[in-house]
Structure 1
Amino acid sequence: MKKYRIVYMVCTAVVVGTGLGAAPPAARHAFHVVMPGQSIQKAVDAAQPGDTVLVAPGTFHESVKVTTPGLTLRGMGRSTVIEPSVKKAANSCAEGGNGICVLGTKDRDVEGVTIASLTVTGFARTGVFAMATDRLTVQNVTTARNGVWGIAQERSVRGLIRDNSALNNGDAGVFLANTINEEAGATDTGGTLIDHNRLEGNRIGLTVRRLRNLTVAGNRATANCVAMFVVGDENKPKAGALTVRDNLVVRNNKSCPKTARLDALQGSGIVLTGAEDTLVTRNVVRNNVGNSPLSGGIVLFKSFVAVTSDRNRISDNVVEGNSPADLINADHGTGNTFEHNSCRASQPAGMC
């Protein structure tokens, strides 16, 4: 029988002052070290809240389901690789075609989970999938060549998605939504941050669907069909009240065919549709060129369900070399402003 190496770290609390009684007992958090040939899932199942499952370099053929609050699942960099198993699915995460799943319940979010420093590749649906989470961190993770999404999160709040590489995934490299399979109004994420990720070779680098109160900052998107897509619809409240800032969006000129939901895609930088009160600022958007209806540098696109985009502010961006134009307002909403942008061509004319 293979055994896991478990190392305990002891954290003590110090009480200052007199008359306060004895200090509380020490909290013990374990490190569960998983070596090649061992099961990550078994280590996760054995872990307690606050523990760390540390996975050595090597390739692990399995899916991993996390439901324990405060758990950290950490590899040792890109050389810790999780790939699909050829065996029959061992849990609901594998059955869904996902690599790592972090799952709360309908009544309670799973809190404080961290997924870090590993590669998840080749899964039929999603590399890292999260549902009903609070303060989930996904950091320094490479998600490559997964069938639908690299990193996906729904019905979750206060997340941090930072310093990841989402490469050549079938749909979005990073996908965030209120719900995936139901119609509902946009929900407040409580300040989710998508920060300094590399989004390359996907159909869409980043999709934010029917969400409010989040920030997309400092990401680099290239060689996707669309770099960044903020999507709303007819449900209330509308998507928006979010910020897209300080991103580098360059040469997203991959060509993707038409689907049941979208026209053919190519050459789209930052696209907003059915959104309100969104700030798009200090981004560098260059050389995104295509013939899709959504092509262009920064685009306000007419909603697929005839909902207007209103009161969005596009300001202080460098938008150059995009075609058919750097700035495009194809929406009939009210209160949208384009100001202080460095650009050469706009549709309609006069926005540069």
Structure 2
Amino acid sequence: MTKRLLAYLLCGAALLAGGLGAAAPASARHSVHLVHPGQSIQQAVDAAEPGDTVLVLPGTYRESVKVTTPGITLRGTGRETVIRPGTTAVTQPGTATRAVVSCAESGNGICVIGAKDRDVEDVTVADLTVTGFARSGVFAMASEGLTVRNVTSVKNGVWGIAVERSVHALIRHNTVRDNGDAGVFLANTIKAEEGAADTHGTLVERNRVEGNRIGVTVRRLRNLTVAANHLTGNCAGVFVVGDENKPKAGALSVRDNHVVRNNKSCPKTDRLPALQGSGIVLTGTEKVLVTGNDVRENAGASPLSGGIVLFKSFVGVTGDDNRISGNRLADNAPADLVNTDTGLHNTFEGNTCRASRPAGMC
């Protein structure tokens, strides 16, 4: 038994030794639901009440899990708790079946989903591995106060961790590797063209993001921070993307990230040209602060290649009032700083670099 697992069990005090039922209360109000290999995580989640913890023991669990109850924690015991796609749909009657099929049929591993008129609040997903799903490892929509922490999300078809139409999210200390599109994907809405949404302070912090098409994508959002992440081996490190809708994407910060050797080669898509060697890219944004980043050895021949790149949106929207300051850049190609935007009041100041396009920005 690992020390971490022992600590969890001691904190749970009188956990029931067998079965899936709720253990003795961890407090006067909150219970711990213990899941053994071979048991259903979804059943434990459906039995949990706000404030409860579903603790999943080491093992491989072949299912998708949908969380709609506010205030619950879904937690493994570390990377040895593994969730993979199931081979058959769950057959239990009632709402659990519909929830699992919905998440599984969408190709997601763990879904945190609110209602149309009310966000699901204060859900935590932590300390587990999600891998092999056709769409996303962890997918959240209509959530408030979501925390995704110490999750390893690898080799999923589209996104490692995706958060849509949500506020106050915290994405921290995760390992997100070798996913088909973005390692961490944040968006206002995927299915409609709308103006940028205010996330009310979402934070993407101290994640290790490797081998994805794009490390972190921020699409049509405002008021968030991408900070102190390690991004390497992706085709592009960080993308902040806006379009012609109002308000513009922006009023956010990308700071203190380590963005090195994002030189994987990715073919073009309907939205973007072929990608390689892009460190931090802003396109169609306003009032974005990019500061304190270490951006090195990102090299390629894509129109978006370079260390920190300002690029006019593919739908013709300029970037305005973006501030690129206090970054350390070296050995990026075609240049450390690249500005092909024609927007107004974009500033480059106090950066340590050798080459820029056009010249004179270093």
Q: TM-score, normalised to structure 2's length?
A: 0.92
Please show how residues 259-278 of structure 1 align to structure 2 within 5 Å: 259-278=269-288
Alignment match, 1:172: 182
Query: Does structure 1 residue 321 correspond to structure 2 residue 337?
Result: no
1:28 Cα offset (Å): 1.6
Match of 2:19 in 1: 3
Query: 3-state SS of the aligned residue for 1:8?
Result: coil
Q: Find the residue that maps to 1:41 and give its secondary structure.
A: helix
- Is 2:308 aligned against 1:298? yes
Partner SS state of residue 157, structure 2? coil
Counterparts in 2 of 1:295 and 1:62: CA distance versus 1, 3 Å: same
Q: Which residue of 2 aligns with 1:50?
A: 51
Q: Deviations over 1:237-256 (max 9, x none)?
A: 00000000000000000000
Does residue 81 of the first structure (1) align with residue 82 of the second (2)?
Answer: yes
1:346 equivalent in alignment to 2:344: no
Counterpart of 1:205 in structure 2: which amino acid? G
| C-alpha distance in 1 between matches for 2:190 and 2:177 | 22
Q: Please identify which structure carries the higher helix content.
A: 2
Residue deviations 1:180-213 (CA, integer Å, cap 9, x gap): 1111000100000000000000000000000000
**In the alignment, which of 237, 241, 249 is matched to residue 231 of structure 1?**
241
1:118 aligns with 2:119: no
SS in 1 for 2:215: strand
Question: What secondary structure sits across from 2:290 in the alignment?
Answer: strand
Task: Give yes or no for contact 2:163–2:186 (8 Å, CA) kept in 1.
Answer: yes
Matches within 5 A, 1:144-223: 144-223=154-233
Shift of 1:4: 1.4
Number of the residue aligned with 1:28: 29
Q: Report deviation, 1:302.
A: 1.2
SS of 2:23's equivalent in the other structure is: strand
Q: CA deviation at 1:5?
A: 5.2
Cα pair 2:89 2:101 within 8 Å, conserved? no
1:194-234 deviation line (CA, Å, top 9, x unaligned): 00000000000000000000000000000000000000000
Moved over 6 A (4+): none
The question of whether the paired residues in 2 share the 8 Å contact of 1:65 and 1:91 is answered with no
Rounded to whole Å, the distance in 2 between the matches of 1:228 and 1:8 is 45
**Structure 1 gap ranges (5+):** 12-26
Percent identity of the aligned residues?
A: 71
Tell whether the 8 Å contact from 2:301 to 2:334 is kept in structure 1 after alignment: yes
Q: Is the 8 A contact 1:123 1:147 kept in 2?
A: yes
RMSD: 0.9
Deviations along 1:239-282, one digit per CA (max 9) or x if unpaired, are 00000000000000000001111100000000000000010000
Q: What letter matches 2:25 in structure 1?
A: M
In the alignment, residue 286 of structure 1 is paired with which amino acid?
A: R
Which sections of structure 2, spanning at least 5 residues, go unmatched? 1-17, 91-99
Shift of 1:86: 1.1
Equivalent pair of 2:232/2:262 in contact (CA under 8 Å): yes
Q: Counterpart of 1:59 in structure 2: which amino acid?
A: T
For 1:173 and 1:68, locate their aligned partners in 2 and report how far apart those are by CA, in whole Å: 26
The Cα shift of 1:88 comes to: 3.4
CA distance in 1, matches of 2:219, 2:180: 17
Note the alpha carbon deviations across 1:59-83, whole angstroms, 9 max, x for none. 0000000000001000000000000
| 3-state SS in 1 of match to 2:300 | coil
Could you tell me how far apart the structure 2 residues matched to 1:312 and 1:39 are?
49
| Partner-residue secondary structure (3-state), 1:93 | helix
Please state whether the residue corresponding to 2:168 is helix, strand or coil: coil
User: How far did residue 10 of structure 1 move?
Assistant: 5.1
Which stretch of the first structure deviates more once superposed, 148-157 or 81-90?
81-90
- State the SS of the aligned residue for 1:42: helix
**Quick one: which amino acid aligns to residue 211 of structure 1?**
L
Structure 1 counterpart SS, 2:78: coil
Q: Deviation of residue 91 (structure 1)?
A: 1.9
Aligned to 2:31, what secondary structure does the other structure show? strand
Aligned residue among 128, 132, 145 for 2:142? 132
Matched, 1:103 2:113: yes
User: Does the Cα contact within 8 Å between 2:57 and 2:77 map onto a contact in 1?
Assistant: yes
Indicate which of 250, 255, 259 corresponds to 2:265. 255
